[in-house]
Chains A and B, each alone.
Chain A
Amino acid sequence: MKKLINKPEDVVKEELEGLALAYPDIVKVHFDPDYVYRADAPVKGKVALISGGGSGHEPMHGGLVGLGMLDGACPGQVFTSPTPDQMLEAAKMVHGGAGVLYIVKNYTGDVMNFEMAADMARSEGIRVLSILIDDDTAVKDSTWTAGRRGVGTTVLAEKIVGAAAEKGYDLKKLADLCRKVNINGRSMGMALTSCTVPMAGKPTFDLPEDEMEIGVGIHGEPGRERMSLKTADEITEMLALSIIDDPAYSRTVRELDEEKGEWVDVTLEDPPFKAGDQVLAFVNNMGGSAAVELPIIYRKLHEICEKKGLKIVRNLIGPYITSLEMQGCSITLLKMDDELLELWDAPVKTIGMRWGI
């Protein structure tokens, strides 16, 4: 294992220490329990947004904390969900009296830990709602699996919902908006190489020089299918079509019902894309691909979208939701409307994303 680290067990702690020193105008870091929070938190009267997940996906989530985006982020160990005490303490620190929205990626560990945290926060009198992101089209079946994973759409949701919170949306309206972004976003990822979790010290899986994994998540886990290596254009086509041609996707998720005061099953359906849709196209670097490669993916994606009648009205290209040093990329398409466009363009100032300011 070759990494720019000191001790494997110190990776997350030392990363957070570095971020706190480098960006004191944007974030502060609390240790034990660990969480990153806005330097000016709590923002009075604004709904606070908190997300979190395993580390190793930088800049998500700590690098997405700041004006116009998250108020708090809870980093777990590398690729391991954070714990409920982190999420509870982060909520207590950042909530400005208007409630807290947890944005949770659909991974079994994240879901269970955030559920426990939401229950604990509510028992302490903090108003909490929680919305799942499950946008990964690599997973076809929600009956026999834990459902689609939360991937690229998470970044877009955090930006859009963050802007809406800044604009004064209330908790209920923000939860509805976050759900709307989730059901209108779809992603598909692929890997050219595996990656090495520092504590494990060796690659999570073997991937020969001439093969690739299609349908990977963001944890170095094997994907849905292994196949021989293809060109950038062929790879882009596979990813893009699995998103664009994905039929309506229906599943049941658990959400907190404020009136009943309990978790309830909610059935959601993602509408398929259709010609004439306006979309945001997000080409994400999994962490280890050279920056020169991503525009090559975007170039083909643009051509495919045009052919399919989808109009790309905004784009985002770069490493935003990574999988350590994995080579590869993911594509996310989000169907846009006037509300989402205005919120996307609103000012943001975080470590990983900054514009309009």
Chain B
Amino acid sequence: MAITTVDVLNCLRQMADVIHENKEYLTDLDSAIGDADHGINMDRGFQAILKKLPSVEDKDAGTILKTAGMALVSSVGGAAGPLYGTAFMQAGMAIAGKYELEAEDLLAILDAALKGVIMRGRANLADKTMVDAITPAVNVIREALGNGAGTVEVLEQAAAAAKKGMKDTIPMLAKKGRASYLGERSIGHQDPGATSSYLLINTMAEMARVKE
């Protein structure tokens, strides 16, 4: 099952809905170990994406993702802006010129996004960040592709792995970002960035499920 640019546009719109619905939840998570703005900032960023989408409706999937990334960089601020912005821009570059995406392209997208996040934020696995949700997703996609899985299966496994990765941040001691200043007090809280990463990956899976 190929994913079209219409699907990509719909997925971004659905991501905006999901982020909006979870705005308070993400902000509450951030209140506990950060500065109480993650949901607010992500919501502003995805609303900015929605405004840009009409201008790229006839463009390739790579251009659509790059445009979304630039909208995030110039509207989110904080650490999430450069991190998600870079992730979307790198993902867009990985599928530049494509109008239809196959299961392998999903690996290219998430792998490029992860590398972008690591390049910009220099976080390692288990630092209690977005990286902890995205890395397991990329790993299972790679494995699932090797076993010949299709788009839906690949994304469902990725969402499950991201969810586990997100939950796994709870006992972690934060080593990056504002939560790192809390030292031991960051333990016992779920990372807001890992949570938004899971929500976005899960939205991709839902999009594929509905399409099927």
Question: Which among B71-79, B105-113, B153-161, B194-202 touches the partner chain?
Answer: B71-79
Judge whether B35 and A76 touch: CB under 8 Å: no
Judge whether B77 and A76 touch: CB under 8 Å: yes
Interface residue? B5 (CB, 8 A): no
The distance in angstroms between the C-alpha atoms of A239 and B202, with both chains bound, is: 46
Contact with A along B43-80 (1 / 0, CB 8 A): 01000000000000000000000000000011111111
Judge whether B181 and A204 touch: CB under 8 Å: no
Interface residue? B115 (CB, 8 A): no
Count residues on chain B whose CB falls below 8 Å from chain A CBs: 33
Contact residues in B for A204 (Cβ distance below 8 Å): 31, 35-36
Judge whether B74 and A83 touch: CB under 8 Å: yes
Contact residues in B for A219 (Cβ distance below 8 Å): 35, 178
Judge whether A221 and B81 touch: CB under 8 Å: no
The distance in angstroms between the C-alpha atoms of A221 and B30, with both chains bound, is: 10
Contact residues in A for B77 (Cβ distance below 8 Å): 54, 76-77, 80-83, 109, 113
Judge whether B81 and A109 touch: CB under 8 Å: yes
The distance in angstroms between the C-alpha atoms of A219 and B178, with both chains bound, is: 10
With A108-B177, A112-B121 already in contact, the answer to whether A79 and B31 are too (CB < 8 A) is no
Interface residue? B83 (CB, 8 A): yes
Contact residues in B for A80 (Cβ distance below 8 Å): 35, 37, 40-41, 77-78
Partner of A146, one of B37, B40, B74, B181: B181
Interface residue? A43 (CB, 8 A): no
With A138-B181, A221-B181, A224-B181 already in contact, the answer to whether A146 and B82 are too (CB < 8 A) is no
Interface residue? A318 (CB, 8 A): no
Partner of A83, one of B73, B173, B176: B73
Contact residues in B for A336 (Cβ distance below 8 Å): none
Contact with A along B25-44 (1 / 0, CB 8 A): 00100010111110011001
Partner of A84, one of B73, B173, B181: B73
The distance in angstroms between the C-alpha atoms of A145 and B177, with both chains bound, is: 7
Interface residue? A116 (CB, 8 A): yes
With A83-B73, A197-B36, A200-B40 already in contact, the answer to whether A112 and B79 are too (CB < 8 A) is yes
Contact with B along A183-218 (1 / 0, CB 8 A): 000000000000001011000110000000000010
Partner of B36, one of A116, A200, A217: A200
With A109-B82, A113-B81 already in contact, the answer to whether A146 and B180 are too (CB < 8 A) is yes
With A138-B181, A146-B181 already in contact, the answer to whether A109 and B78 are too (CB < 8 A) is yes
Within 8 A of B (CB), among A267-288: none
Contact residues in A for B36 (Cβ distance below 8 Å): 79, 197, 200, 204, 220
The distance in angstroms between the C-alpha atoms of A169 and B178, with both chains bound, is: 34
Interface residue? A72 (CB, 8 A): no
The A interface is mostly helix, strand or loop, or mixed, namely: loop
Judge whether B178 and A108 touch: CB under 8 Å: yes
The distance in angstroms between the C-alpha atoms of A81 and B83, with both chains bound, is: 13
Partner of A79, one of B35, B75, B177: B35
Size class of the contact patch on chain A: 35 or more
Contact residues in B for A144 (Cβ distance below 8 Å): 173, 175, 180
The distance in angstroms between the C-alpha atoms of A47 and B37, with both chains bound, is: 34
Nearest Cβ in chain A — how far from B144, in angstroms?
Answer: 32
Judge whether B183 and A224 touch: CB under 8 Å: yes
Contact with B along A94-134 (1 / 0, CB 8 A): 00000000000001110011011000000000000000000
Interface residue? B185 (CB, 8 A): yes
The distance in angstroms between the C-alpha atoms of A197 and B41, with both chains bound, is: 12
Interface residue? A58 (CB, 8 A): no
Interface residue? A352 (CB, 8 A): no
With A77-B41, A116-B73, A199-B40 already in contact, the answer to whether A109 and B181 are too (CB < 8 A) is no
Within 8 A of B (CB), among A10-33: 33
Contact residues in B for A149 (Cβ distance below 8 Å): 181
Interface residue? B13 (CB, 8 A): no
Nearest Cβ in chain A — how far from B113, in angstroms?
Answer: 16
Q: Identify the interface centre among A77, A81, A116, A145: most chain B CB within 10 Å of its CB.
A: A145
The distance in angstroms between the C-alpha atoms of A224 and B186, with both chains bound, is: 11
Judge whether A205 and B31 touch: CB under 8 Å: yes
Within 8 A of B (CB), among A303-355: none
Question: Top 7 A-B pairs ranked by shortest CB distance?
Answer: A145-B180, A112-B82, A109-B78, A109-B79, A219-B35, A80-B77, A108-B79
Residues of chain A having any CB pair with chain B under 8 Å: 33, 54, 76-85, 107-109, 112-113, 115-116, 138-139, 141, 144-146, 149, 197, 199-200, 204-205, 217, 219-222, 224
Residues of chain B having any CB pair with chain A under 8 Å: 27, 31, 33-37, 40-41, 44, 73-83, 120-121, 173, 175-178, 180-183, 185
Told that A145-B175, A200-B31 touch, could you supply 20 new A-B pairs with CB distance under 8 A? A76-B77, A76-B78, A79-B35, A80-B35, A80-B41, A83-B77, A83-B81, A108-B177, A109-B81, A112-B82, A116-B73, A141-B183, A144-B175, A146-B180, A149-B181, A197-B37, A200-B37, A221-B178, A224-B181, A224-B182
Can you report 21 A-B residue pairs in the complex whose CB atoms are below 8 A from each other? A33-B74, A76-B78, A79-B37, A80-B77, A83-B74, A107-B178, A109-B82, A112-B79, A112-B82, A112-B120, A113-B81, A139-B181, A145-B175, A145-B181, A146-B180, A149-B181, A197-B35, A200-B31, A204-B36, A221-B34, A224-B183
